[in-house]
């Protein structure tokens, strides 16, 4: 009886330790499975971007492709140590990056900086940092300049890319024929214009080398005639017009959204997008979603090409990660 009483606490300790070990093992296994799913999805995203690029360049061989975020996609199997992925590198002209040096305050992302540094002599890197304090502007510009990145720093009033800054970095009147000619860019997609004429008036005299903008104004697509008015900078030089398109999330305000999806949504609508109530992460591997994006005359990319844009800015490619974390 005495021995049994002494053994019980010991047994409980052993059981508790075993439970902790088991729990940690299960957490580790779960994390490992998430990473494997994320890696597999990332390789599918690589193929998705490559297919979009092939489709667009079959219409316009010089069409510019710029994915935003998801820097791991630059590498084979999403692994830096395996070197860059040649097919993906051929499919893109540059890489857009948010919050690289500043995420409100100075907080450089050294992991992403390493991924980008290895390709900065081959592809144009467009950085849109977020600064809580405008006094940090010169520091952010210097960091981007020293890394040979194009900079578009934004402060709280321009968090959603709905303002045209009063300054232009490296303003010039040169003709911009290709992405690596650009010395600056304007990221302007959130302006609440009701008429196309108002948007055109706001941008017509602007002198940025490259404009990232939406295809639509108040749900009406811009036309080739509309864009012709914007392809020349106010100072007379030619510039590039790049259409924003989200390929990793569905947006409720787009032409493709159907009202009945509120009750009976398609299987590829997967996960709420924190911070953006009108967006939902999608299963981008699904053929129905991919047909919305490219490959046919009613697709989003076809509309962009028909309007006469010089390229496309592919947002939310990091869906391969966000879906599993």
Between CA 78 and CA 170 the distance in angstroms is: 34
What's residue 16's pLDDT? 55
User: How far is C-alpha 93 from the geometric centre of its chain's CA atoms?
Assistant: 14
- Average pLDDT on 186-197 reads 92
Residue where the block lists tokens 């650009």: 182
What's residue 136's pLDDT? 97
Percentage of residues in the chain with pLDDT exceeding 90? 82
Between CA 151 and CA 80 the distance in angstroms is: 24
Range in 129-138, 169-178, 205-214, 262-271 the model is least confident about: 262-271
Between CA 245 and CA 314 the distance in angstroms is: 5
What's residue 191's pLDDT? 82
Percentage of residues in the chain with pLDDT exceeding 70? 90
- Average pLDDT on 173-196 reads 95
Q: Is the pLDDT of residue 199 over 90?
A: yes
Between CA 281 and CA 319 the distance in angstroms is: 7
What's residue 239's pLDDT? 98
What's residue 20's pLDDT? 55
Q: Specify the higher pLDDT residue, 207 or 13.
A: 207
Q: Which residues contact 107 (CB under 8 A, 6 or more apart)?
A: 101
Q: Is the pLDDT of residue 33 over 70?
A: no
Domain boundaries, the chain: 2-322
What is the band of 325 on the pLDDT scale with cuts at 50, 70, 90?
Answer: confident
In the sheet that holds 311-315, the strands lie side by side as: 64-67, 311-315, 240-246, 210-214, 186-188
pLDDT digits (tens, 9 = 90+) for 118-150: 999 999 999 999 999 999 999 999 999 999 999
What's residue 65's pLDDT? 98
What's residue 36's pLDDT? 81
Residue 262 exposed, middle or buried by CB count within 10 Å (0-12, 13-18, 19+): exposed
- HEC letters along 182-232: CCCCEEECCCCCCCHHHHHHHHHCCCCCEEEEECEECCEECCHHHHHCCCE
What's residue 18's pLDDT? 60
Between CA 106 and CA 99 the distance in angstroms is: 9
Q: Please give the mean pLDDT across all residues of the chain.
A: 91
What's residue 140's pLDDT? 98
- Average pLDDT on 74-99 reads 98
What's residue 120's pLDDT? 94
Say if CB 188 and CB 217 are below 8 A apart. Answer: no
Q: How many CA within 13 A on the CB side of residue 207?
A: 12
Q: Is the pLDDT of residue 31 over 60?
A: no
First to last CA, the chain: 51
Which residues are registered as beta bridge partners of 311? 64, 242
pTM: predicted TM-score of the whole model, two decimal places: 0.90
Q: Is the pLDDT of residue 2 over 50?
A: no
What's residue 32's pLDDT? 62
């Amino acid at each position: 009886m005495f021995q049994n009483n002494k053994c019980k606490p010991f047994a409980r300790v052993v059981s508790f330790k075993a439970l902790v070990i088991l729990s940690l093992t299960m957490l580790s296994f779960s994390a490992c499975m998430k990473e494997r799913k994320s890696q597999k999805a990332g390789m599918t995203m690589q193929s998705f971007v490559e297919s979009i690029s092939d489709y667009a360049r079959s219409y316009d061989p010089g069409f510019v492709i710029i994915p935003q975020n998801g820097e791991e996609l630059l590498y084979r199997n999403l692994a830096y140590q395996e070197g860059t992925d040649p097919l993906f590198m051929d499919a893109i002209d540059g890489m857009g990056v948010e919050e690289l040096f500043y995420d409100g305050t100075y907080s450089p992302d050294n992991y992403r900086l390493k991924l980008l540094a290895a390709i900065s002599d081959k592809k144009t890197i467009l950085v849109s940092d977020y600064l809580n304090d405008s006094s940090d502007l010169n520091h952010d510009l210097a960091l981007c300049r020293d890394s040979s990145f194009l900079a578009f720093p934004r402060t709280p009033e321009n968090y959603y890319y709905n303002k045209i800054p009063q300054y232009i970095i490296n303003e010039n009147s040169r003709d911009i024929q290709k992405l690596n000619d650009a010395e600056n860019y304007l990221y302007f997609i959130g302006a609440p214009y009701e008429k196309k004429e108002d948007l055109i008036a706001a941008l017509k005299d602007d002198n940025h080398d490259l404009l990232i903008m939406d295809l639509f104004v108040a749900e009406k697509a811009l036309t080739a005639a509309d864009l012709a008015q914007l392809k020349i900078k106010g100072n007379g030089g030619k510039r590039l017009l790049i259409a924003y398109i989200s390929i990793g999330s569905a947006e409720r305000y787009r032409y493709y959204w159907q009202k009945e999806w509120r009750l009976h949504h398609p299987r590829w609508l997967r996960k709420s997008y924190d911070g953006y109530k009108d967006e939902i992460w999608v299963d981008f591997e699904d053929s129905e979603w991919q047909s919305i994006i490219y490959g046919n005359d009613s697709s989003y990319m076809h509309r962009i090409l028909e309007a006469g844009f010089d390229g496309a800015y592919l947002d939310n490619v990091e869906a391969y990660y966000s879906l599993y974390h």
